[in-house]
């Protein structure tokens, strides 16, 4: 492990808190040290309070901030003397501790400080760093971990046995430091948890962390337990989207709400899932307490979700009676699934949640394999895992979490998603919490949004193989399909029937009709597995009820699509899939309405372009967003008992009325 400290970079951080920000970010850059908000850092600074008195404050990383991107505002300033006084108490419950942390901050807008604030306070150093370094976690999660730590570090570190984070850990660390520390002490190792380093300056504390972790890595290298052999396993080529969608449905049924299911069939994940001893090594617990909170429970082996849920309930019944306070069981669905065909599957209420679990468990796999190579993986006992999972602070956090977004855990697919109504539909669905797969022939779709809950793919919807590939990729990313918005289409220049080339007719039919038939056929098995029932919205046209001259191919294709939707509503109702159509008109902020087309249609009706845009009963302009918002609502509970409906979005058209 190499130090990332750079004097030129550091010079841009002149203050004590600024340097705390800088080295925190250095730690956060390395995922072998810190992963998804894990770890914390602090600095003790003397400042004048509002009365002009000197007061020493402990600035400690606040809840909700990641070290990699933390700013000064992400550190909570708490009064150091009060924290030291608290450390002398015999007992302090978690709720009491949180209350003391919050009521003794000096900035009301600051985030809640770390649950390890008192621990940071008791360490007599200006700068304190704490990480869950993979190498340290590997060493301490072995049967001989304590002896190995002593052999590697001698008396350079204070060693603390495992205890759950909170006040008791702070007192134990303070006691261990008082008994073991000396002038050459560089850090502190918490068994099955992580490592602390500290020093008088930000640079010293940071580089001590790098040095201490490097010792552990070098030990693992000498024991041939650091570099993992390349896995030898075949990557499945057969489509697996229906299996994945079925698995997601089963998980959602046990959880009681729709979930995102991300599937990683990479060689490392598949090789681990296919190990002969996976039933043993995967069931011994997460790498650190932080991972217990994130992944919630042990992995499920295979796809028998009901059996897993029953086992988890039995696990709860075994340990809940021993808990200090009555506990309410969380949903019994797994968060990690290891399957010999699918590889590593991770579950979350959102894409972000599933991604966090995936990243953590991929690191856990590496830690387990290294510890196994070192002589045997041995994690926390089941009782400690239960205590962490049902920790008072974690339970309180869950109770405070607000109502999830309307489409949390659900997945939508939108065609023609790069612009116009399609893009507006993407926006409306994302705003309601859905994960969205966007398809478009325009390469811009891949760069439409850089966020984990959007997957944009270039796809010619007239190409059956391309559609199948896109669906396979989308389902592997998110787990299935709940909503389908068929929006892609073309509107050719006006042409009378007597001069309409058959090639143009076929092109319009191929895109506006045939492609949607293929999409409906290929997505039907996925929509059948939607936890809340599948939903399809067809973006039709005013030309269905009221066609106009010069638009024969377009009008006929949209009318045929509308009829296809009606037939599908009859056939798919028994599968819990509802299909409704929207008929917009004169939506001019779409790709179909080029200046050329707009001017031609306005001229056809003897109107100016401005007049043509508002040529409806209400005299209003209809936008893509207007259509998209109604399309999204059609996928929601307001339309739960409606199928085969046709709703105009046109400001009122006299010919339709």
Report DSSP letters for 12-49, one per residue: T--SHHHHHHHHHHHHHH-TTT--TT-SEEEEEEEEE-
Judge contact between 123 and 158, C-beta under 8 A. Answer: no
Judge contact between 452 and 355, C-beta under 8 A. Answer: yes
d(CA 33, CA 288) in angstroms, rounded, equals 12
d(CA 283, CA 363) in angstroms, rounded, equals 15
Distance of CA 412 to the CA centre of its chain: 16
* E strands present in 223-340: 260-264, 300-301, 336-339
d(CA 474, CA 462) in angstroms, rounded, equals 18
- Torsions phi, psi of 515, nearest 5? -60, -40
Judge contact between 273 and 343, C-beta under 8 A. Answer: yes
* Per-residue pLDDT reduced to its tens digit, 557-599: 999 999 999 999 999 999 999 999 999 998 988 766 778 878 8
What parts of the chain have a pLDDT lower than 70? 37, 289-296, 323-326, 382, 384-401, 591-592
For the domain covering 411-591+622-648, report its CATH number.
3.40.50.720
Tell me the two tokens of residue 439. 């398809």
For the chain, the helix, strand and coil percentages under 3-state DSSP, each to the nearest 5: 45, 15, 40
* CB within 8 Å of 149: residues ≥ 6 apart: 139, 140, 157, 159, 189, 191
Q: What are the domain boundaries of the chain?
A: 7-222, 241-379+386-394, 411-591+622-648
Q: What is the pTM of this model?
A: 0.90
Q: Tokens 């972000």: give the residue.
A: 352
pLDDT at position 94 is 85
pLDDT at position 399 is 61
pLDDT at position 333 is 93
Residue 579 β-bridge partners = 536
pLDDT at position 238 is 86
* Per-residue pLDDT reduced to its tens digit, 461-495: 999 999 999 999 999 999 999 999 999 999 888 89
Give domain 7-222's CATH superfamily: Class II aldolase/adducin N-terminal domain (3.40.225.10)
pLDDT at position 192 is 87
pLDDT at position 232 is 77
* E strands present in 234-360: 260-264, 300-301, 336-339, 343-348
Could you tell me the end-to-end alpha-carbon distance of the chain, in angstroms, rounded to an integer? Answer: 73
Tell me the two tokens of residue 627. 């259509």
d(CA 234, CA 98) in angstroms, rounded, equals 50
pLDDT at position 295 is 65
Judge contact between 283 and 299, C-beta under 8 A. Answer: yes
Q: Which of 162, 554, 605, 612 is catalytic?
A: 554
Burial class (CB in 10 A: 0-12, 13-18, 19+), 591: middle
d(CA 27, CA 35) in angstroms, rounded, equals 10
pLDDT at position 389 is 62
pLDDT at position 390 is 61
d(CA 519, CA 555) in angstroms, rounded, equals 20
- Torsions phi, psi of 590, nearest 5? -120, 165
Q: Output the average pLDDT for the chain.
A: 92
- Torsions phi, psi of 504, nearest 5? -70, -40
Asked, colleague to colleague, whether 7-222 and 411-591+622-648 share their fold, the answer is no
DSSP state of 406: T
- Torsions phi, psi of 611, nearest 5? -65, -40
pLDDT at position 329 is 74
pLDDT at position 315 is 80
Respond yes or no: is residue 315 known to be catalytic. Answer: no
Per DSSP, the residues of 54-90 read: EEEEEEEEBTT--GGG--GGGEEEEEHHHHHHHTTSS
DSSP state of 377: B
DSSP state of 153: H
pLDDT at position 159 is 96
Report the b/e string of 538-564 with b at 16+ CB within 10 A.
Answer: bbbbbbbbbbeebbbbbbbbbbbbbeb
Q: Is the dihedral of CA 355, 357, 359, 361 positive or negative?
A: negative
Judge contact between 484 and 577, C-beta under 8 A. Answer: no
Question: For the CA atoms of the chain, what is the radius of gyration?
Answer: 30
Q: How far is CA 206 from CA 21, 120, 213, 324, 618, in A?
A: 12, 15, 11, 38, 66
Q: How far is CA 102 from CA 42, 65, 96, 98, 288, in A?
A: 16, 16, 10, 6, 26
pLDDT at position 318 is 80
């Amino acid at each position: 492990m190499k130090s990332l400290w750079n004097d030129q970079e550091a010079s841009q951080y002149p203050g004590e808190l600024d340097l705390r920000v800088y080295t925190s970010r250095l730690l956060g850059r390395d995922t072998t040290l810190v992963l998804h908000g894990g770890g914390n850092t602090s600095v003790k600074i003397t400042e004048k309070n509002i009365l002009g008195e000197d007061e020493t404050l402990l600035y400690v990383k606040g809840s909700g901030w990641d070290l990699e991107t933390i700013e000064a505002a992400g550190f909570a300033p708490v009064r150091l003397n009060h924290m030291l006084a608290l450390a002398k108490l015999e007992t302090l419950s978690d709720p009491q501790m949180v209350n003391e942390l919050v009521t003794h901050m000096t900035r009301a807008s600051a985030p809640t400080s770390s649950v390890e604030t008192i621990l940071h306070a008791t360490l007599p150093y200006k700068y304190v760093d704490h990480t869950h370094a993979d190498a340290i976690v590997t060493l301490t999660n072995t049967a001989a971990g304590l002896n190995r730590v002593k052999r590697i570090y001698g008396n350079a570190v204070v060693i603390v046995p495992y205890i759950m984070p909170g006040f008791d850990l702070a007192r134990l660390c303070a006691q261990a430091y008082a008994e073991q520390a000396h002038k050459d002490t560089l850090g502190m190792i918490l068994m099955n948890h992580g490592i602390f380093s500290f020093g008088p300056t930000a640079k010293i504390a940071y580089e001590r962390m790098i040095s201490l972790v490097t010792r552990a890595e070098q030990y693992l290298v000498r024991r041939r337990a650091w570099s993992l052999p390349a896995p030898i396993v075949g990557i499945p080529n057969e489509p697996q989207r229906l299996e994945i969608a079925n698995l997601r449905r089963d998980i959602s049924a046990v959880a009681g709400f729709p979930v995102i299911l991300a599937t990683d069939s990479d060689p490392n994940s598949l090789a681990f899932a296919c190990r002969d001893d996976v039933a043993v090594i995967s069931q011994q617990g997460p790498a650190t307490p932080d991972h217990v909170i994130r992944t919630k429970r042990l992995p499920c082996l295979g796809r028998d979700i009901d059996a897993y849920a029953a086992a988890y309930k039995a696990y709860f019944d075994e340990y809940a009676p021993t808990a200090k306070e009555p506990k309410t069981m969380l949903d019994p669905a797994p968060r990690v699934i290891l399957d010999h065909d699918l590889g590593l599957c991770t579950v979350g209420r959102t894409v972000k949640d599933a991604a966090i679990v995936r990243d953590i468990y991929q690191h856990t796999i590496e830690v387990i394999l290294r510890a196994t190579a070192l002589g045997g993986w041995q994690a926390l006992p089941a009782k400690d895992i239960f205590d962490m999972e049902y920790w008072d602070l974690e339970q309180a956090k869950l109770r405070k979490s607000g109502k999830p977004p309307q489409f949390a855990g659900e997945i939508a697919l939108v065609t023609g998603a790069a612009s116009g109504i399609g893009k507006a539909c993407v926006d409306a669905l994302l705003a309601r919490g859905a994960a969205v797969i966007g398809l478009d022939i325009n390469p811009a779709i891949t760069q439409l949004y850089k966020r984990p809950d959007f997957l944009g793919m270039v796809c010619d919807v007239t190409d059956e193989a391309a559609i199948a590939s896109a669906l396979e990729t989308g389902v592997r990313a998110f787990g299935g399909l709940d909503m389908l918005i068929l929006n892609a289409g073309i509107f050719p220049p006006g042409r009378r029937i007597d001069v309409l080339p058959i090639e143009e007719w076929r092109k319009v039919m191929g895109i506006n009709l045939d492609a949607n038939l293929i999409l409906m056929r290929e997505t039907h098995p996925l929509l059948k597995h939607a936890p809340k029932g599948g939903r399809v919205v067809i973006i039709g046209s005013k030309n269905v009820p009221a066609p106009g001259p010069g638009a024969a191919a377009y009008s006929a294709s949209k009318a045929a699509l509308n009829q296809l939707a009606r037939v599908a509503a009859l056939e798919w109702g028994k599968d819990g899939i509802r299909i409704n159509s929207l008929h917009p008109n004169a939506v001019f902020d779409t790709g179909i309405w080029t200046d050329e087309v707009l001017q031609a249609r306005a001229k056809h009706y003897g109107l100016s372009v401005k007049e043509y845009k508002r040529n409806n009963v209400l005299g209003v302009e209809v936008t893509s967003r207007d259509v998209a918002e109604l399309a999204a609502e059609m996928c929601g509970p307001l339309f739960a008992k409606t199928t085969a409906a046709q709703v105009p979005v046109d400001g009122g058209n006299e010919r339709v009325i």
